Structure 1
Amino acid sequence: MNCYCGQPKTYANCCEQAHKNIEKAETAEQLMRSRYSAFVTANGDYLMQSHHASTRPIKEKKAIVKWAKSVEWIKLDVLETTKGTENDTEGTVTFKAYFYENGKVDVIHEKSAFVKENNKWYYLGLSK
């Protein structure tokens, strides 16, 4: 079975690696995919850990986990990645995350900004 993020690997050989050690997410796209899988598995600790300290919504953790558990995640489509390689310190990933909520399919369409500090990628928020 493919990982929740859509990669042709098992969860254990893909996003779970980053969930256990954030440094395993070697690119901005890998971090973004691991964050999607963290929403699917309602892994609030990883969502907070992978969110940059300057924008981390600590007070919203319980609400985020509750919402993540309340929807049925369908799939992730990565549309574009700019920079964000192992050798970069910043990058963006544009994606669509599909989910089923309140009887209908909805989608999060976002261009996310990422930054690499101390050899770890972090989600900053919406790209400007």
Structure 2
Amino acid sequence: MKITIEATSMEELQEALQHLTGKEITREAVLQDIAPAEVPFPAARVQPAPVAQPVQAAPVPAAPEPEPEAPQAEPIVYSMTDVRGVLSNLTKAGKKAQVQELIRSFGVDKLSQIPEDRYPEVMQKAGEL
């Protein structure tokens, strides 16, 4: 047979043991090992709570330093002279037909008709020729 006693205080435990044994149980008897001869069932033993050892806190790693932001590349501004020079060099290199096709791909017939805000795109495509 197994008997389980749940008590929220020492007094409750004493009272339960007295009720079970029919004998007066002192606080000291509860805290000590009770010999089997004194109690008609296996001794109820109160285990003292283990003493908590101070816990060494693990070192907290330092927060990583934020990566310096890469400088924002400012958009390259090309002038008509820049674009004309690159296209002229391509024409001299024997790519006249490809240069004319590149200009027409912007929906115009002449380089001067391409809007300035599209010059970076013209330069990119010229670099691919």
TM-score calculated relative to the size of structure 1: 0.25
Structure that is richer in strand per residue = 1
Structure that is richer in helix per residue = 2
Bigger Rg, structure 1 or 2: 2
TM-score calculated relative to the size of structure 2: 0.25
